[in-house]
Amino acid sequence: MKFTLPRPLAETAVYATLGLACAVGLYLLAARLPIERDLTQNASNSLEPASIQVLQQLHGPVHIVVFSGERDVRQGDMRKLIRQFVALYQRYKTDIALSFLDPAQHADEAREADIQASGEMVVEYQGRREHLTMLNEQALTNALLSLAHRREQLVMYVDGHGERKLDGMANYDLGEFGQHLGQLGFRVAPLNLAVAPEVPDNASLLVITQPQVDWLPGETAKLMRFVDRGGNILWLVDAEPMHGLQPLADKLGLALTPGIVIDPDAEQMRAPVTWALGTSYPPHAITRNFSYVTAYPFARALGHEENPSWRYSTLVDAAPRGWISAVAPKHDEKPRFDKNRDAPGPVSIALALERNADGRSQRIVAVGSGSFLANSYAGNGRNMDLGVNIVNWLSNQDNVITIPPRAAKDDTVTLSKLQLSLISIGLVIALPMLLALTGGVVWWRRRR
């Protein structure tokens, strides 16, 4: 007896078989060639390219231990949030291990790890540790960045002439910047050249800020020998007297224009016109992928002479509609350009110098504002991030960059009074009348 399926049923079976085969094929293709797209508005389900670059520098497993209970009173299931966050990193580095310990049940481990609060994270890599108390991409990536340093970098700053201190807490000091460098694996130490025989050879770089009294000739000679030996320098040059540092400017071929930079565009940002805003960054390793605003209070313009020994690069251009004022404006007067004594912008605020010294690269950066990284001003714009990039470049760590926090897009809708009135009239009057009119037309047509 011959059995045949009805034609509609046979077609249905064929289509079902083909559909199942296509589904299996797509599944196998997706398993072999996974493709992910982050369609969230702020790319919150993806890492910044800089974070991925940092993960590529870590050769070996990373272990993250979180001291947290099952639930938090305010945050709820903290462990779930942390797992989802760390999963972004595990997507690019599969040997990141995550574990949780309840500090109440593992008090000895918490005490040994010096845990101060619930939710604190300990990141371990090659026997080194970093503690985290904040859960965001900038914090974790910077911790991994610090662990990626193969050795501790020594950053020394000149002291003894009333300079800004990298570990000072006064408004004019650079303590917050120095503390941030410490979190990234740098060791900060002062250097008094009146006492020290020379600048130590193990110093990755020397930071020089504005002196308030003159350098002694012997101190200047030690600094010149450091430059001759190929030492790296970060020089924050204020628009003040040189106090014995003119020989350094001459040796580097720097032209320090007198006067301060006036930037009218700063008023639009509700900042004083004596703040030069950096918005243009010519191509350089320091400013790669850097497109943020930086502020330079009371800045002086920097130029350079022709010196075949050095390669000069402008890092920051500022005040395209501003000028260099030969006379500092008074506090209560509006600065005005004087073509007889002032020089029009734009002006260079920061320069990078590089040369070959005894077979290695010698690097120097000069910034025309000591207040650029001072405690009172470092939080403006991305000053701190640019400062860290400068230090990383000076310490010959070109592949190490800072990770700025992800900028959230503005979802706020601002409406004028007229727009609010039109919307209100439309919702309260026009829309009900339109519905009533539509209902009346439908009723009339049905009745006919």
Q: Domains (ranges, CATH) in the chain?
A: 49-146 (3.40.30.10), 152-394 (3.40.50.880)
CA distance 205 to 207: 7
Give the pTM.
Answer: 0.69
Segment among 66-75, 237-246, 283-292 with least mean pLDDT: 66-75
> What was the pLDDT predicted at 306?
83
Mean pLDDT of the chain: 84
Using a pLDDT cut of 90, give the percent of the chain over it.
38
Distance between the two ends of the chain, CA-based, in angstroms?
A: 64
Highest mean pLDDT among 53-57, 147-151, 176-180, 419-423: 176-180
Picking from 352, 286, 348, 356, the residue whose alpha carbon sits closest to that of residue 320 is 348
Greater confidence (203 vs 1) lies with 203
In the predicted structure, residue 309 carries a pLDDT above the cut 70: yes
Segment among 9-23, 125-139, 208-222, 305-319 with least mean pLDDT: 9-23
- Residue type at position 231: G
CB 125 within 8 A of CB 65: no
> What was the pLDDT predicted at 185?
76
- Mean of the pLDDT values across residues 189-208? 94
> What was the pLDDT predicted at 284?
93
Residue 247 confidence class, pLDDT cut points 50, 70, 90:
very high
Surface-to-core class of residue 404, CB atoms within 10 Å of its CB (0-12 exposed, 13-18 middle, 19+ buried)? middle
In the predicted structure, residue 141 carries a pLDDT above the cut 80: yes
In the predicted structure, residue 410 carries a pLDDT above the cut 50: no
CA distance 372 to 121: 32
Greater confidence (250 vs 328) lies with 250
> What was the pLDDT predicted at 40?
53
> What was the pLDDT predicted at 408?
45
CB 224 within 8 A of CB 247: yes
Greater confidence (122 vs 234) lies with 234
b/e per residue 87-116 (b: at least 16 CB within 10 A): ebbbeeeeebebebbebeebeeebeebebe
